[in-house]
Amino acid sequence: MSLFSRKAPEARLTLRALAYLLRYPDANLRSHATDLIDALQSENALDPARIEELSRLIAQLTSRPAMQVEAEYVEIFDRGRRTSLLLFEHVHGDSRDRGPAMVDLVQTYEKAGLLLDPDELPDYLPVLLEFASSQPAQQAQEFLGEFAHIVRAIFSALISRESPYASVLAAVLELAGEKAEAIAIEPEQDLDESWAEPEAFGGCSTQGQSKPNQPQPIRIVKRASNKSPEHHQGA
């Protein structure tokens, strides 16, 4: 174990560039492609090989058809649970614990003198990266380190999907003082399947009445009368 820790690099522009790259790849992002590459190269906070990877991603986002690039972004980040950029979803899911965690994060921003835009969620990774870019280098690295385990899980999921966006998450891990190493993850269930409602009579095929996709026997039972017999008294 080394007795000396590596000094956190100045990465204000790099963090903002990474945040920008993780946002929806609209026309505004494509128009600033050159600026993003210039920011990464001028600050040089990342390994040259990583900067080259990110430059290739930027080239892909700008050279391919816009609709295809945007559709792929939605498929990866909006339709994938393991690749969601809302970090607390990976920890708390939809439980009530997510609310207090979000409040704590908003308070962290406010203590630094920053107010979150009402349209943004505090645990959205681009928001965290922009906040980190406003902090001194060492504090920024420590802040990112608190979420590194979640970032690593997203990075691993992107690697398994062979997504070029994995290079962005790898860069975030490195700026957090971590190695960009993938971990084993379980296969992800398709979002449509996980949210699909069961068929109205789908349960019949699994209740022991018959095999799936086979005709189900119907038993007709005469309904019992709810009326009690009437008694007639003689006159």
pLDDT, tens digit, for every residue of 146-182? 999 999 999 999 999 999 999 999 999 999 999 999 8
Please report the pLDDT score of residue 44 as a whole number: 94
Please report the pLDDT score of residue 92 as a whole number: 58
Please report the pLDDT score of residue 187 as a whole number: 66
On average, the pLDDT of the chain sits at 82
Please report the pLDDT score of residue 177 as a whole number: 95
Residue 223 has pLDDT above 80, yes or no: no
Please report the pLDDT score of residue 138 as a whole number: 95
Please report the pLDDT score of residue 110 as a whole number: 92
Per the CB < 8 A criterion, the answer to whether 176 and 144 are in contact is yes
Residue 22 has pLDDT above 70, yes or no: yes
User: At a CB cut-off of 8 Å and minimum separation 6, what does 50 contact?
Assistant: 167, 170, 171, 174
Please report the pLDDT score of residue 118 as a whole number: 86
Of 75-79, 136-140, 186-190, 210-214, the least confident: 210-214
Band (pLDDT 50/70/90 cuts) for residue 100 is: confident
Residue 235 has pLDDT above 50, yes or no: no
pTM: 0.76
Of all residues in the chain, what percent carry a pLDDT higher than 90? 60
Band (pLDDT 50/70/90 cuts) for residue 20 is: very high
Please report the pLDDT score of residue 184 as a whole number: 84
Q: Which residue has the higher pLDDT, 133 or 187?
A: 133
Band (pLDDT 50/70/90 cuts) for residue 101 is: confident
Q: Which residue has the higher pLDDT, 208 or 19?
A: 19
Of 80-94, 153-167, 221-235, the least confident: 221-235
Residue whose C-alpha is closest to residue 144's, from 119, 117, 164, 171: 171
